[in-house]
Amino acid sequence: MKVLLASQSERRRQLLKKIVPEFIIDAPCVEEILDERTPAEQIAMMNAERKAKNVASKHAGEDYTIIAADTIVVVNDKILGKPADKNTAYEYLKILSGSWHRVITGVCLMKVNENKMIIDFDTTFVKFRNLSDEQIKTFLEKETFHDKAGAYAVQELDDAFVEKIKGSYDNVVGLPVEKLKNLLNLLENLDITEIYDIALPNIWGIGKKNEKIIFIDHAVPGDTVWFYVAKDKGSFAYGVNCGIKKYSEFRVNPECPHFGRCGGCSFQNLNYKFQIELKKKYVIETLARIGKIKLENEIPVIESPLIFNYRNKMEYAFGSHNGKIVLGLRERQNPLKRYRGSVNNIEKCLIFSDIVEKLFPVSIRYVEENSFTPYNPFTKNGLVRHLVIRRGINTAEFMVIFVTKSGINRNIEKLAESMVGVVPEIKSFWWVENDQISDVVNYQQKHLIYGNQFIEETLFDYRFRIYPETFFQPNTKAAEKLYGVIVSMAQEVQPESVLGLFCGSGPIEILLSRISHNVTGVDNNPSNIVVAKENCDINNITNCVFHCISAEQFLKNVRDRQHKYDLLVVDPPRGGLTNKAMFHLLRVKIPKIIYVSCNVSTLARDLSILMDNGYQLKKFTAIDMFPHTGHIESCCLLEMK
């Protein structure tokens, strides 16, 4: 193995000699990043990767294994970088005095000519004794602090400074030798596979090793990737992507700078047409696997009219890194990592709106100025929880919802005023107090701070009011396509009387009021029913009625009263129909059903039950409501035989 150390550090040279007798040195020329709103471990690994890539660019095609590292010191959620001067070094050592701190070294190994790369980190915990001013000043007189993270090199200190070390001593010096030895062995023995599929709705590419299914992160169909197995589950395993030997023809450069780490989009690196093909395949295979439903004809998939700036609602979470407030989305759950609910800081959101770039700095500044702490779903501590933003795509109206735990009312009017100052299109600002333990946005107590109670959106020539908790399809333009499909299916039925279950704020029922004499909407959320009735009033709809009751109870009542409906429209949550709802639905025997679903798995289950009990699947259409994700909306028409 020909090894190249990407470092000019004498400490790292001496440490590497413990396991690699011969190597060459080529120091990188990059400025280290110290973004305090990024987790410390990520900073160390990103800097190590940047160093490795910088040196690799000078040795393209050469048979070198490049080793790069970056070490940072973290104490009390504060990153201590390399001090700029003696005063800063003194401050650092005063902070370290008498306390535990973490020494984190990010390591990047790169095989230049094969495009292999492994990135990892090691952490050592160090406790300093209580240091006197005289001790610190005497140490600083040596002038050895300049290029040292935290202003010290542990090998230059004695027991008068260091009380305890937990973990690798070499890591504190600057290179975790034992971990590096294992990583070098791993790099030399990587497996390789071609990715032939992807596990929707998740983001794991699927390859094989000795006929065993291997799920590999950040891999897409058509890639040929280097990997190692990190978790073997017997019948399948999870692998870590260590570089792409051959790139898929379906890859594109993601437009968002946060792609891959923000916790949101999963497929911005895939051609949109190919995303549609993957989703179509997923729908067909899921219907066959779970529901034993084989579609005779290839299903149509309606593409989203917008693939960026398409969402009309986003729920962003507050978090913190290194003592700095961040706003973004929580990390995606990963079977190879312990889930900590960490929030990934973002500065823009391409699937929502550029309003993020204006409102996030205002929100963060307000939270920091008031010394608020973000809510942690694991410790249950913290005050500020979410920033929810809603907008009317067709009306250009915005609503902001600031969600906290109760009792923090510190001039929230000032926050609203600041936001309206940078985004005049904000028509409504709410403060919501939520003391529930779970991390979901719950509208326990709402306070209107500024503007109207609602914003409006238009669909076709109808107006709809949106309040903080109102359910509304998250992609307005794709919702218009979906509702067009529903109306088209209903027109074939020509119903006299329509029943809509899980009606939300009533858009489907209002649209169907044009083609049916009587339309009934049912939802168990009182606020949805209030808004549905209000939407009828502002659109002069007189043949719709809405009831606040569970779908199960309403269906039971319909069966008992022998009321006749020609058409049933169901748009349930992701869990689909409950057993009780299905039982009563089958007893009612409504001749035609339009089933709308955002979860293909539960849809397949429910369709199988319906088809086993006398219904035929007549039409099936999928609508891509969620570009750059693994999710898709479905709409189908069933008729009683």
CA distances (Å), 528 to each of 394, 498, 511, 565, in order? 21, 19, 17, 22
How many residues are present in the chain? Answer: 641
Quote the CA–CA distance of 124 and 102 in Å, as a whole number. 6
> Is 159 tagged catalytic?
no
Amino acid at residue number 352: F
Label each residue of 58-83 as H, E or C: CCCCCCCEEEEEEEEEEECCEEECCC
Backbone angles phi, psi at 290, to 5 degrees: -90, -45
Inter-residue contact 467 to 504 (CB < 8 Å): no
DSSP 8-state symbol, 508: H
**DSSP string of 445-503, one letter each residue:** EEEEEEE-S-EEEEETTEEEEE-TT----SBHHHHHHHHHHHHHHHHHH--SEEEEES-
Quote the CA–CA distance of 302 and 53 in Å, as a whole number. 41
Quote the CA–CA distance of 529 and 547 in Å, as a whole number. 7
How many beta carbons lie within 10 A of that of residue 47, not counting itself? 23
Backbone angles phi, psi at 585, to 5 degrees: -60, -45
Tokens of 634: 């479905």
| Beta strands 162-166 and 343-345, pairing class | unpaired
Quote the CA–CA distance of 336 and 239 in Å, as a whole number. 9
Backbone angles phi, psi at 169, to 5 degrees: -65, -40
From the candidates 70, 120, 122, 571, give the one annotated as an active-site residue: 70
DSSP 8-state symbol, 526: H
Phi-psi region of 447 (alpha: psi -120 to 50; beta: other; left: phi over 0): beta
Give which of 178, 177, 174, 184 is closest to 9, Cα–Cα.
174
Quote the CA–CA distance of 422 and 428 in Å, as a whole number. 14
How many beta carbons lie within 10 A of that of residue 537, not counting itself? 10
The dihedral sign for the CA sequence 429, 435, 441, 444: negative
Where in the sequence numbering do the catalytic residues fall?
70
